[in-house]
Copies of this chain bind each other. A is one copy, B any other.
Amino acid sequence: MITFVKYVRYCRQMTSNSPPARASYHHGNLVEALLEAAIALIEDKGVESLSVREVAKRAGVSAGAPFRHFSSKTALLTAVAEQAMSRLTEAVSAELKTTGDADPIAGLRAIGQGYLNWALANPTHFQVISSRTLIDFHGSEKLVAENEAIRLIMEKLIDDARRRGLLRHGIEIEDLIFSSRAFIYGVARMWIDGHFLEWRIERPAAQAMSAALDMFILSIGAEVAQ
């Protein structure tokens, strides 16, 4: 029996088939390796043409191995999204910290800038996060919680700005929270979805985004403050 197994392994090395050279039978840290492989492959070929088989191959394991750790392709991508959301939250928080408590509108702008910068630098991760068909957003407590955390920070900043009279007269708080989010999301998605070409955005993407953000921030501010 053992001879046969060794023979099979020998043949595998000779034909150099799917699972290539690996030190031991067990991978060691397959979960992380799969997440990394998934990101790398999405960066190469896009989200929709990602296959679990290729992820497995890149990680150096057989096609069925990923299903030991993720119940489905969706579960794998949801794990990628969780990792991505952590980094996004981190990036936004870091940018926010560069502003003081004195100017909530500057804080709001920092959130937008941090969000856009991160999306620009990590389009793949962003794409995975914002999808609701590839991942199971509401099935992940982490995703829901971190998303809510950002929303609460924005809500607090906007409410703070209102109390200090920094907002333009006539603007409803509820509308502004939603609008700010929609605006940033729209800018980021237009870039991700490749709509910059059609809209003749000829400046570098980061520059166009930043200018648009400046305009938005300017327009919601009180006239006297400008």
Q: Which residues of A does B touch, CB under 8 Å?
A: 46, 48, 130-134, 137-138, 144, 147-148, 151, 168-172, 174-179, 181-187, 189-190, 193-195, 197-201, 208, 211-212, 214-216, 218-220, 223, 226
Docked complex Cα distance between A117 and B13 (Å): 60
Contact: A147 with B179, CB < 8 Å?
no
Contacts of A175 in B (CB 8 A): 211-212, 214-215
Contact: B186 with A182, CB < 8 Å?
yes
Q: Beyond A185-B186, A219-B168, A219-B171, is A212–B48 a contact (Cβ under 8 Å)? A: no
Closest residue of B by beta carbon distance from A208: B178
Contact: B201 with A178, CB < 8 Å?
yes
Docked complex Cα distance between A189 and B186 (Å): 7
Contacts of A223 in B (CB 8 A): 223
Contacts of A132 in B (CB 8 A): 193-195
